[in-house]
Structure 1
Amino acid sequence: MIHFEQPVPSYDLTVSKGSPDYILGKLNDDKTESDWWSALGGAKALHEVFDRTECLIIIALPSPYLRMIAPFLSELPESTCKRIRIVGGRDARGLRPILESARLPYDDRLDGPQSFLRGTKSDFASRALRHFAEVVLSKAPLETAETHAKQVELALAAWRPPVTKVGVRVSDTDLKSVLREHWYRAGGRTTKLLRLLRDEMNIACEQKRFARLAAEVREERTLS
């Protein structure tokens, strides 16, 4: 287990399709994300973490990463599954029914006008986790998954989903120029840059495309 203050080497691997650093694009044979993760010792490490505690376990992951650990989760005993709550991973598959019932009903309302935790799709799971911890878990730490799900739904009941805006489309070249211009303002943080593009400049940019162009601009700045 890695402490939050422990420095780790930088890396560029992901299980999100469409990225140039997609791990399965770098492996031979018919391997899956779960195979790669298990080969790194991920399943063993999680078993050790889960076995050390009797407390509630909250899993906050986007869909590709939740699918990656789904085979591991399917091996857990029912007593452990009852201690799990899942946020994020709205398009995950392969979970046991008991774990599907542990999924909390966070959806696009988290990005609507009433939300105090708006953000990007890439940080949806962490924002949902914060909401659950601050609004629900702090008041009802010992409730069942069913009760927690009802309390989340109650907390979001008056929230509306965001209104989709049609942004202006620009070329890769123009978009990279905008990123360079606002790089210092955003402190080089891609999440903030994406919010500037969408909210202030009304520029349409699919998230994977944005990640690719931002990585290119970051590399330019590293080499300059």
Structure 2
Amino acid sequence: MRELYSGRAFALASKAAEGAGADLYVLSAGMGFVKQDALVPPYNLSVALNTDDCILLRSRAEPFTASQWWAALHEAQGSRPLAKLLSGRPKAMLVLAATRPYIQMVEEELASLTAAQVARLRIVGPTQANALPELLRPSVMPYDDRLDDVDVGLRGTRFDFAARALTHFVDLVGGDECIQSPQDHAKRVRLSLSKRRAPERLQRERIDAAALRRHVRALKKAGESKTSALAKLRRELGYACEQQRFSSAWEAL
């Protein structure tokens, strides 16, 4: 998995897990629930509807949801992997750092957890707790754009927001001797962010697939590196584009 996931989000999550002495697993749209050192074949799938590789748009028969796809991925093992992990580690906390589409992918399984298991679950990423089943809402840590305050030292994109929140949360509670309540953890997050300010965000137009390919060709022809090309696309051309999406387009041309 390490070779397949080379972006900033995975690097931050890997570093946070290593610093906490914890295992890191990937919520994969192609492979399911996979430990970071597992050997897997190359793949390129997503459950985000605004990406070219969305598996939810590939059905020629009945449409299906992200949660149905997640269940199908694990049907052969006959297990719910998140519940199984929590059951096998009764003193561990599961910190789930994911974007909204991936939270939706595992939402039904999370909603089936016992109350005791939910008490050991923390979700960092989606800022709208009300969009989740009521049972899960206390598990959502109250991160928001104040995480981008320059003094926090974790500025980034919306795509890597969950990984940056994970980094902050692990630094905040990683030294605790026991797992405190979700309410206590949420209070500590709010207190930590209380003196921070969200920076003003530039409103950028999301670039469509055709325009992205056109600009990637032009930037490559101009001799730009992938990193400088993405920066130019965002800052000079004024487009919004996730790092992974840009990287896929870059490698495809």
Match for residue 109 of structure 1 among 140, 146, 155:
146
Q: TM-score under structure 1 normalisation? A: 0.80
What is residue 189 of structure 1 aligned with on the other side? none
Equivalent positions of 1:10-159 (< 5 A) are 10-27=42-59, 28-41=61-74, 44-54=80-90, 55-91=92-128, 95-139=132-176, 141-159=178-196
Give structure 1 stretches of 5+ with no counterpart.
187-191
- In the TM superposition, what is the alpha-carbon distance from 1:150 to its structure 2 partner? 0.7
Q: Secondary structure at the match of 2:102?
A: helix
Tell me, yes or no, if the aligned pair for 2:230 and 2:246 is still in contact at 8 Å. no
Larger mean Cα displacement after TM superposition, 33-42 or 86-95:
86-95
- In the TM superposition, what is the alpha-carbon distance from 1:146 to its structure 2 partner? 0.5
Give the letter for the 1:47 counterpart: A
* Whole-Å separation in 2 of the counterparts to 1:86 and 1:193: 33
* Whole-Å separation in 2 of the counterparts to 1:117 and 1:8: 30
Shift of the 140–26 alpha-carbon distance from structure 1 to 2, 3 Å rule, reads same
Computed over aligned residues only, the root mean square deviation of the Cα atoms, in angstroms, reads 2.9
Tell me, yes or no, if the aligned pair for 2:46 and 2:54 is still in contact at 8 Å. yes
* Whole-Å separation in 2 of the counterparts to 1:18 and 1:121: 14
* Whole-Å separation in 2 of the counterparts to 1:196 and 1:112: 23
- In the TM superposition, what is the alpha-carbon distance from 1:48 to its structure 2 partner? 2.0
User: Do structure 1's residue 182 and structure 2's residue 224 form an aligned pair?
Assistant: yes
What is residue 206 of structure 1 aligned with on the other side? 240
Shift of the 193–8 alpha-carbon distance from structure 1 to 2, 3 Å rule, reads farther
Shift of the 91–11 alpha-carbon distance from structure 1 to 2, 3 Å rule, reads farther
Shift of the 167–83 alpha-carbon distance from structure 1 to 2, 3 Å rule, reads closer
Q: 1:98-130 CA distances to partner (integer Å, 9 max, x unpaired)?
A: 310111011111123223111111111111011
Shift of the 98–219 alpha-carbon distance from structure 1 to 2, 3 Å rule, reads same
Give the letter for the 2:85 counterpart: V
* Equivalent residue pairs, number: 211
Q: TM-score under structure 2 normalisation? A: 0.72
Give structure 2 stretches of 5+ with no counterpart.
1-32
* Whole-Å separation in 2 of the counterparts to 1:52 and 1:99: 20
Give the letter for the 2:88 counterpart: R
Tell me, yes or no, if the aligned pair for 2:74 and 2:80 is still in contact at 8 Å. yes
Q: Secondary structure at the match of 2:249?
A: helix
Q: Secondary structure at the match of 1:182?
A: coil
Give the letter for the 2:89 counterpart: T
What is residue 5 of structure 1 aligned with on the other side? 37
Give the letter for the 2:101 counterpart: P
Tell me, yes or no, if the aligned pair for 2:80 and 2:109 is still in contact at 8 Å. no
User: Do structure 1's residue 219 and structure 2's residue 252 form an aligned pair?
Assistant: yes
* Whole-Å separation in 1 of the counterparts to 2:89 and 2:231: 38
